[in-house]
Structure 1
Amino acid sequence: MAEVKLFGTWFSPFSRRIEIALKLKGVEYEFIEEDLSNKSPLLLKYNPVHKKIPVLLHNGKPICESLVILEYIDETWEGPSIWPSDPYERATARFWAKFFDEKCVPAMWKVCWSKGEEQEKLKEECTQLLKILESALSGKKFFGPGENIGMVDVTGNFIAYWFGILQELAGLQVFAKEKFPNVGEWIDEFLNCSIIKENLPPKDKLTAHLQVRFQAVAASK
């Protein structure tokens, strides 16, 4: 039995965050693919509050919520540090990680599925969020200190990869490298990292999966 197990889904940016962190740390793990339309008894047992993936199981003990799991991984295993060690820089990283999860991901997800006036409002919101990220990356290669991928970059994986595919499928252009060059350079650096490339879902497979969802939404209207 594997000491470390990860309950997730192949297409989830939140699951992929955990896989990236485990790979950065060199931790061996067993990935357990969940069917979110028919959640397993084990997932419901290990995350009875939110009933969501990802869930990390370490020595039989479950840890839930991706940001919490990322901190746990960094504190539990040796290897390259994901979180900054300096208290101020660590607090700043937590701020930006929450900014991604509470502001960026919801708005950028919703804008791709909305229409009309609602979509126009969300496009403006996303543009403002991207302006904030553009400013935060001024003069920097990654969000954290130093020249290496860190916690904040890992939590930004949705923007770096999923959002571009969603934009294309929705026929939108909220983000463009010409408008946000700093963000564009960060995306290129992030996606060109070998560990990141190895732990992202294949673009054609993810595109096909999301296309089915777009078709289902269109058919329901």
Structure 2
Amino acid sequence: TLAFCDPNFRQFKVKKFHNLPFVTFTWYGDYIPNTKFAFPPEGVKEPLAKVLSEKGLFQFHIAETEKYAHVTYFFNGGREKPFPNEDRIMIPSPKVKTYDLKPEMSANEVAETTINRLLLKKYSFVLVNFANPDMVGHTGNLMAAIKAIEVVDKAVEKIVREALNLKMHILISADHGNAEQMVNPKTGEIDTEHTTNPVPFILIRPDAVSSKLRKNGILADIAPTILNLLRIEKPKEMSGRSLIV
């Protein structure tokens, strides 16, 4: 894109085109000059992290390098700077050419750091991302993907056990699939792409109370569900609704 749009582009020799409008599907930032976009970004005015911060609650966000932006910038509605009382840690991802060479990635370090933070008994909300199922899934290596899932399964178990000991609720979900389908069912070819399969939403309670969850929820319902558990009123800007019936 920069080769077409940036008059100062010098990485390789390019032929300059005259009267060439360049339109991106959405806005990619000011670092791509001389472009227009078809659909402007929709601002997220009341992300979950902001709501929690304004209530004076402490929160902790953690991921390894590959998914750190997802638990910070993207989760916070396109905001780089942490909200007040929001702590963050980025665990370095392993330096390998492709992640099927190290399917465990940094999952164990993410889990250990999360548990250490839980033991501080400081946070009302903890956000944890495991990159393995997506990043290893993208390699198309089935055996490596299986190993990645096994590692994450054990890491999540450790966090869940500690969280339950601390009487915390646990929510487990995803924003898309990948590793659950490593072969294209129509062509039989290796599948390295995201899937549109429904993802799980699991609520684990620290008490003996059983919660009934609505079916056919969407990602926009997760933040209202968290606020429901924390007994915080959902802001009108949140279009979703709690998944707890």
Q: Same fold (TM over 0.5)?
A: no
Would you tell me which structure has more helix in proportion to its own residues? Answer: 1
User: What TM-score do the two structures reach when normalised by structure 1?
Assistant: 0.35
Please identify which structure carries the higher strand content.
2
Structure label with greater radius of gyration:
2
Greater RCO, 1 or 2 (C-alpha within 8 Å, sep 6+): 1
TM-score (norm 2): 0.33
